[in-house]
Homo-oligomer: A and B are copies of this chain.
Amino acid sequence: MEECNNPVVKVMGDPGLQQNILLPHPPQKRGCRRCPPLHPSRQHPQRWHLPDYPGRLPNLAGAAQPAWRAAGMEGLRVGSVLLTGCDGGLGLGLLKGLLEQPSPPRHIFAACLDPQGKAVNEVALGFPNVMILLLDVTDPNSIEAAVRKVQAEVGSAGLNLLINNSSTTRRSTLATETAENMSLVYTTNTIGPLQTSQAFLPLLKKAAEAEGQREMSCSRAAIINISSILGSIEVAEAWEERQDICYRCSKAALNMLTKCLALEYGSSGILCVSVDPGHVTPPLEQGMGPVTLEESVRGVLQLLAQLSATNNGTFWDWRGQRLPW
């Protein structure tokens, strides 16, 4: 078994979950005996190389049952949520997860490109608190129409939580990347969340004011941008497996947007955070990722339940671990 030259700086991690902290953060060498996978028990180990970064929330994402049950917690309590990208994948998973919370939201707006889609309608069936909405994040008219519908439902309570989950990608390498890919992916992954956040700002502000006595949290008013570890410039995760320049650049830019939103909207009581759901494989390859959809959803919702003012403008993964930009 060969050994790589990655300088192992520090080893830390959860009990039973060995995690190598390597600096600098080169791609992990396969087969190197100093680079054991983070999850030795899994077929597709996580290959993160995190610098020693401050911040860690209680990690309950790996629990075999929903985190709030394992911990005797209440889960995420929030009056109204709008979730984009509910056509499938993580969006659909988060929708299911929200419905399974011990105290589900009074209003869940499941925004998708095809409101007649079978999958989203099956998940929403029998839940009067779910409204399926058309929302194309690249089309301002579509966003404005969604805002009007949400406004009509939530009234003066406003919208508590906007989850910008819509995302797209194109497989590419540095040799094959094109301007067309770059532009298309940026439009959906970066400009989309910007336009959606701008349009829902009045409703988010209403919620922040209505819950003005509470600390900043996802229950009061928040924008969660679903980013990706592939958007971390520092970590440069999985470079050998997927270069996808268009996707990485769009998510790094989305992280910058998160920071900008936090700086601007924070004073209105709106929390803004980037979240890596860990589910780095695209829909076509579901099940090949280092984390299952269920683990990801459980972890993300647990994370959202714990975020507070001190986390404004930061980047977290589904395990409750803070990520570097």
Contact = CB atoms under 8 A, between A and B. Distances in A.
B187 A183 contact: yes
A151 interface: no
A174 B264 contact: yes
A105 to B, nearest CB: 26
Contacts of A253: 186, 190, 249-250, 252-253, 256
Contacts of A260: 174, 236, 239, 243, 245, 248-249
Contacts of A174: 198, 260-261, 264-265
B182 A245 contact: no
A173 B249 CA distance: 21
Interface in A150-195: 173-175, 177, 179, 182-183, 186-187, 190-191, 194-195
A267 to B, nearest CB: 11
Given A245-B257, A325-B324, A140 B183 contact: no
A190 B233 CA distance: 15
A10 to B, nearest CB: 14
Interface residues of A, number: 42
Contacts of A248: 256, 260
Contacts of A140: 179
A27 interface: yes
A232 B245 CA distance: 19
A187 B173 CA distance: 18
Q: List the 9 shortest-distance A-B pairs measured between CB atoms, nearest first.
A: A252-B256, A249-B253, A233-B325, A253-B253, A325-B325, A174-B264, A182-B191, A249-B256, A179-B191
Interface of A: 27, 138, 140, 173-175, 177, 179, 182-183, 186-187, 190-191, 194-195, 198, 231, 233-234, 236, 239, 243, 245, 248-250, 252-257, 259-261, 263-265, 313, 324-325
